Amino acid sequence: MLARAVRSGLTESYHDGAISVLGRDDSVLFELGDVERPFFLRSAIKPFQATVSLETGLRLTEEQTALACSSHGGQSFHRSVAASILESAGLDESALRCPPDWPLSQSARLELVAAGETEPRGIYHNCSGKHSTVLAACVAAGWPVDSYTRPDHPYQVRVQELLAEVTGEPVEPVGVDGCGFPTLRGSVRGLAKAFTRLAFDERFAAARLAMMAHPAMTSDIDRPEAALMGALPAAVKGGAVACTGVAVVGQLGLGAKCWDGSNPALYVGVIHALVGLGVLEAPLADGLEPHAQPVVLGGGRPAGRLEPAF
């Protein structure tokens, strides 16, 4: 169990999952739960997808690289950087194959509605940074731009090869992510292995350093990924249905999954594990309290908390 919800002194729900924490050379520092159970890695692998894009020779600024690794909130600064990546490749929003959507961030949605926007757009999608970057990489490499989401596209084949290498696991059969991209299979231990590479390997330095320098670009201003990157020398990337990877530079790689899909419960478990390992000090952990022990409301007032259960 990663976490339990306590309301008025009574535990009313439990959230089970798995965590794997590995050191250099994949030495096991801590494991909990079924770390070999397969699931789709979803957006947690975006730093590696961004690395494949950069290895085509594509030149990006640090902010653009951070957005390439992101599941962003759709704030105006996210949208403008995505548009700049497309423009640098001679493309526009019409080339995007992610579906029209509204921003993940409520404040960004309200801002657009207040400005008179009435329709969702591809550039608002939380994966538009990744899609824009892949399109620009296809232009740089001379690959087709209209079929970049196909699993057999040269870019996607390279991603599959890289993920098999860094996770040490088969990544097929390939699924379909929410944004229309291929999504690859893995396990919690495989995700930890990948993020250990992100923590130690200079091959992934560009993605790692960009994420650490611009956490709000990589996620959003109020998400647990950004909060953890503010508290640690780490690159943190979550994926849909409650999975995440943490690469603490020169120290460890962590993979985690909450099986019922609760993102708050996932980060309760992750933060508790990092505190237990001594990676997070108590004062820093206190600064993460909104994510370490989220409040359970009753009648609009605190009635309990989501607490670690291991």
Query: What pLDDT is stored for residue 166 in this prediction?
Result: 98
Write down the pLDDT at residue 282. Answer: 76
Q: Which residue type sits at 253?
A: G
Q: What is the pLDDT of residue 165?
A: 98
Look up the pTM and report it: 0.96
* pLDDT score recorded for residue 222: 84
So what's the pLDDT on residue 221? 82
Domain 3-308 has CATH 3.40.710: yes
Q: Give the per-residue pLDDT at 286.
A: 72
Output the CA torsion 30→166→267→6 (10° steps).
-60
Measured distance CA(308)–CA(292) in Å, rounded: 8
pLDDT at 281: 85
Reduced to 3 states (helix: H, G, I; strand: E, B; else coil), residue 255 is strand
Dig out the tokens for 143 from the structure.
């690959």
- Split the chain (310 residues) into runs of 10 and give each run's mean pLDDT: 97 97 96 98 98 98 98 97 98 97 96 96 98 98 98 98 98 96 98 98 98 95 92 97 98 98 98 96 81 95 96
Q: Are 244 and 236 in contact (CB under 8 A)?
A: yes
Distance CA 226, CA 287 (A): 12
pLDDT at site 115: 95
Cβ–Cβ under 8 Å, residues 293 and 305? yes
Q: What is the side-by-side order of every strand in the sheet holding 3-7?
A: 10-15, 3-7, 301-308, 295-298
